[in-house]
Amino acid sequence: MKAKEQSLHREMWIHAPLAEVFAFFSEAANLDRITPPWLHFRILHAPEKIDSGVLIHYQLAWHGIPMRWTTRIEEWQPPHQFIDSQLRGPYRLWRHTHTFEERDGGTLMYDVLRYAIPLGAVGDFFAGWRVREDVERIFDFRAEQIRAIFVS
């Protein structure tokens, strides 16, 4: 039996122009700035220019367990949207849609994450609550960092 697909929806207004916000997310190196230190995140390889089809390789540790992750940029539509998905990593499914629009003198950013953990219903039963908690903490940290980076 497949693991139940989960989703996370976040919305955040950023006091910065759309072009500036999208430029920040266009730099793979900025992933490190918005990833919690407890994940021990490190980029192993990323292209200089992000575009559809590019791969980003990194490593992290989840609760002390080291793992490698490969992300593919599925869609790249500057400055309004991009979608990344996990090719290699801890999830059975990870698809993250980032959408940006000009709003009220700044940028409204939407995140829609669809994910599922491995091991089907067994994985959900034993770790689903923990994974959900971790994903929420990661996105909370990310929002705090983005607010700090784009202070007015």
Task: Give the CATH number for residue 75.
Answer: 3.30.530.20
Report the C-alpha gap between 128 and 137 in whole angstroms.
14
Residue 21 included in any domain? yes
Q: Which domain holds residue 119?
A: 6-149
Residue 16 included in any domain? yes
Q: Phi, psi at residue 120, to the nearest 5°?
A: 55, -140
pLDDT tens per residue, the chain (152 residues)?
A: 455 888 999 999 999 999 999 999 999 999 999 999 999 999 999 998 899 999 999 999 988 889 999 999 999 999 999 999 999 988 788 999 999 999 999 999 999 999 888 655 544 555 554 667 888 999 999 999 999 999 85
Number of folded domains that form the chain: 1
Residue 102 included in any domain? yes
Assigned token pair, 99: 């959408």
pLDDT (0 to 100) of residue 90: 85
pTM above 0.75, yes or no: yes
pLDDT (0 to 100) of residue 121: 59
Residue 83 included in any domain? yes
DSSP letter string, 64-114: TEEEEEEEEEEEEETTTEEEEEEEESS-SEEEEEEEEEEETTEEEEEEEEE
Residue 28 included in any domain? yes
pLDDT (0 to 100) of residue 39: 95
Residue 1 included in any domain? no
pLDDT (0 to 100) of residue 125: 54
